[in-house]
């Protein structure tokens, strides 16, 4: 008995389409997890928050000479606070509205 050619649709080299479908479903779940993990909002929010903390700390410990340069405005403190707010916004946005993976075509029609 010969095995069916590999070019036929819906069959696998060893004739186990159910195993292949299960493997594809597992890969799709894993890719959805990876997409949520590497959501660009996490990266942007994290960087803004990190740099906001650094710049804000520089503003907290600013000396009189630095304040005199900026005409009495503690620009590092204000910029750090603004960057922290932007970072918090991105992180909150990602938490409230996470990425959703669309169900595969076969599951859409049955739902």
pLDDT tens readout for residues 23-53: 777 776 666 666 666 789 999 999 999 999 9
Cα-based distances in Å from 94 to 23, 30, 41, 47, 56: 29, 19, 6, 14, 24
Q: CA-CA-CA-CA torsion for 15, 19, 24, 29, nearest 10 degrees? A: 180
Question: Which band of pLDDT confidence, cut at 50, 70 and 90, is reported for residue 19?
Answer: confident
Confidence check: pLDDT of 81 > 80: yes
Confidence check: pLDDT of 111 > 60: no
Q: What's the mean pLDDT when you consider all of the chain?
A: 80
């Amino acid at each position: 008995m010969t095995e069916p050619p590999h070019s036929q649709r819906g069959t696998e080299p060893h004739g186990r389409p159910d195993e292949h479908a299960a493997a594809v479903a597992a890969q799709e779940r894993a890719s959805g997890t990876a997409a949520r993990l590497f959501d660009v909002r996490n990266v942007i929010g994290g960087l803004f928050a990190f740099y906001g903390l650094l710049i804000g700390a520089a503003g907290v410990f600013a000396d009189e000479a630095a304040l005199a340069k900026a005409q009495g405005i503690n620009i590092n403190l204000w910029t750090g606070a603004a960057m922290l707010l932007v970072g918090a916004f991105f992180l909150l946005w990602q938490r409230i509205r996470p990425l959703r993976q669309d169900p595969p075509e076969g599951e859409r029609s049955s739902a």
